[in-house]
Amino acid sequence: MQLQRPDLLRDNNYINGQWQAAASGRRFPVENPANGEKLTEVADGGTADMDAAITAADAAQAAWQSETPKTRAQILQRWYQLIIEHRRDLAAILTAEQGKVLAEADAEIGYGASYVEWFSEEAKRIDGDILAAPSRDKRLLVIKQAIGVVAAITPWNFPNAMITRKAAPALAAGCCIVIKPAHETPLSALALAALADEAGFPAGVFNVVCGTQASDIGSVMTSSPLVRKLSFTGSTRVGKILMEQCAATVKKTSMELGGNAPFIVFDDADIDAAVAGALASKYRNAGQTCICSNRILVQDGIYDAFAARFAAEVQQFRLGDGRDSDATMGPLITRQACDKVTALVDDALSKGASAITGGRRASIGEHFFEPTVLRDATPAMRVFQEEIFGPVAPLFRFEDEQQAIALANDTNYGLAAYFYTQNLNRVWRVAEALEYGIIGINEGVTSSEMAPFGGMKESGIGREGSKYGIDDYVELKYLCLGGLDN
């Protein structure tokens, strides 16, 4: 890999300000999902390494918490500037280990950095409050204090931004953090650690432990009494396990879990805008995002026209290695991911759907699936109930608004939803009826550091980003000042 700063490619864990091999001495390979090429081998951290990271974070916690907000803000600001300065290298590392095309990797670095910038500013606005008192001899005050050491577990689909979305608010609030990235994508996490080190975070404030033994490492994080909060992004299945484990020490948790986003196109929609929004929300990262449209619900009167125009656009995608400048869509992360998408499509086809375009694995490599549009999908198919996590858009048909809302809400997930209409009354009715934490109205791209990201129902707990994002990393403390003589 050609990098301007080859030292951003790290292969050891970052614990207490030091680059450390795993206590066991073991290493694991990191591969390019486009072709299986081994990029490097990384220290395979385990329970002892995570234990050391938590101990270091705990030792650094009191001093970091008592730094002035301005000092924390300045270090975060430096980290932000370093990330932007080295975004080409960070994007190259990200594409190599994750597979998304370089333009998308570059956009992720910018998106990830935006949280660091935002929370560098928010660090100075963690304000308390003075409340009305019930009697004249009392004053009631509320202060916000860092919750303590934070543990973060992150997925492979956004290996940079899912880290900054947690680390930036935690560090701004005065929390030290230990991070376990997904084993498929440790290099982006270690590159961020290299730049955090350069930015000047004191030893122990920021730690990264990579490893293949996720449940063992996770158990250390969830059971340690030194860890006061767990922030997790990943599947609902693993999120539930971690919540159960956190119950033993009553840890605060943030859970950014799976989604099953409906994308509703009403008859009165601007069809060009709806096609553009569906393309952007469905196929980004080859369909591997938690807010990807999973079920495209199209009203009867516009169904055929939408299907034809949408499929024509989908045919324009060019599959390839993310580093190839001609490619507009990369591979899926693993062969198993490709197997799962294949099984979902086969299930839909066997139950009466038809593929207008795509519908099978691509011939260019075993992790590639053709960008696919399925017509005549129905709720009896697995694609209605399960997160597809691949470049497959099933089109469902509905008759009226009530049916659209009922179909959209017919899932245990509640992360993102999208709908397209030109009717203002319908905008409010549908927005209020959808049981989702994020709603795109005539818009397919909603994410921003300035907005709260998070889900309802089994999609999670808590919000990342925006003025609300810091709340997950502070405790509200109530001070009752009594005995006053006036």
Catalytically active residues are: 256, 290
In DSSP terms, 202 is beta-bridged to: none
Interface residue with ligand NAP, options 218, 394, 444, 462 (CB under 6 A) = 218
Interface residue with ligand NAP, options 42, 193, 238, 344 (CB under 6 A) = 238
Closest by Cα among 325, 319, 315 to 366: 319
Question: 3-state SS string over the chain?
Answer: CCCCCHHHCCCCEEECCEEECCCCCCEEEEECCCCCCEEEEEECCCHHHHHHHHHHHHHHHHHHHHCCHHHHHHHHHHHHHHHHHCHHHHHHHHHHHHCCCHHHHHHHHHHHHHHHHHHHHHHHHCCCEEECCCCCCCEEEEEEEECCEEEEECCCCCCCHHHHHHHHHHHHHCCCEEEECCCCCHHHHHHHHHHHHHHCCCCCCEEECCCCCHHHHHHHHHHCCCEEEEEEECCHHHHHHHHHHHHCCCCEEEEECCCCEEEEECCCCCHHHHHHHHHHHHHHHHHCCCCCEEEEEEEHHHHHHHHHHHHHHHCCCCECCCCCCCCCECCCCCHHHHHHHHHHHHHHHHCCCEEEECCCECCCCCCCECCEEEEEECCCCHHHHCCCCCCEEEEEEECCHHHHHHHHHCCCCCCEEEEECCCHHHHHHHHHHCCCCEEEECCCCCCCCCCCECCCHHHEECCECCCCHHHHHEEEEEEEECCCCC
As a dihedral over the C-alpha atoms of residue 477, residue 449, residue 187, residue 223, rounded to 10 degrees, the angle is 20
Residue 154 CB, nearest distance to ligand NAP (Å)? Answer: 6
Positions in 359-398 near ligand NAP (CB under 6 A): 387
The radius of gyration of the chain from alpha carbons, rounded to an integer in Å, stands at 23
Site string for ligand NAP, 179-208 (x = CB under 6 A): -x-xxx------------------------
Among 85-93, 107-115, 211-219, 308-316, which window interacts with ligand NAP (CB under 6 A)? 211-219
Residue 314 CB, nearest distance to ligand NAP (Å)? Answer: 22
Instruction: Return the number of the residue (370 or 458) whose C-beta is nearest ligand NAP.
Output: 458
Does residue 472 belong to the site contacting ligand NAP (CB under 6 A)?
A: no
Site string for ligand NAP, 307-346 (x = CB under 6 A): ----------------------------------------
Interface residue with ligand NAP, options 233, 254, 260, 285 (CB under 6 A) = 233
Instruction: Return the number of the residue (46 or 174) whose C-beta is nearest ligand NAP.
Output: 46
Residue 319 CB, nearest distance to ligand NAP (Å)? Answer: 21
Residue 153 CB, nearest distance to ligand NAP (Å)? Answer: 5
At 485, list the tokens: 């003589």
Among 70-78, 196-204, 232-240, 264-272, which window interacts with ligand NAP (CB under 6 A)? 232-240
Residue 228 CB, nearest distance to ligand NAP (Å)? Answer: 18
CA gap 335, 337 in Å, rounded: 5
Positions in 141-170 near ligand NAP (CB under 6 A): 153-158, 162
Position closest to ligand NAP via CB = 218
CA gap 301, 377 in Å, rounded: 16
Instruction: Return the number of the residue (339 or 475) whose C-beta is nearest ligand NAP.
Output: 339
Interface residue with ligand NAP, options 34, 290, 327, 392 (CB under 6 A) = 290
CA gap 286, 101 in Å, rounded: 9
Does residue 460 belong to the site contacting ligand NAP (CB under 6 A)?
A: yes
Instruction: Return the number of the residue (65 or 235) whose C-beta is nearest ligand NAP.
Output: 235
As a dihedral over the C-alpha atoms of residue 324, residue 330, residue 333, residue 338, rounded to 10 degrees, the angle is -130
At 278, list the tokens: 């569906």
With CB under 6 A, what is the number of residues at the site for ligand NAP? 30
Instruction: Return the number of the residue (174 or 454) whose C-beta is nearest ligand NAP.
Output: 454
Instruction: Return the number of the residue (13 or 299) whose C-beta is nearest ligand NAP.
Output: 13
Instruction: Return the number of the residue (182 or 192) whose C-beta is nearest ligand NAP.
Output: 182
Residue 198 CB, nearest distance to ligand NAP (Å)? Answer: 25
Residue 337 CB, nearest distance to ligand NAP (Å)? Answer: 8
In DSSP terms, 262 is beta-bridged to: 295
Does residue 458 belong to the site contacting ligand NAP (CB under 6 A)?
A: no
Interface residue with ligand NAP, options 102, 146, 395, 415 (CB under 6 A) = 415
Instruction: Return the number of the residue (10 or 375) whose C-beta is nearest ligand NAP.
Output: 10
Instruction: Return the number of the residue (45 or 148) whose C-beta is nearest ligand NAP.
Output: 45
Positions in 239-268 near ligand NAP (CB under 6 A): 241-242, 256-259
Residues that bind ligand NAP (CB under 6 A): 153-158, 162, 180, 182-184, 212, 214-215, 218, 233-235, 238, 241-242, 256-259, 290, 387, 415, 455, 460
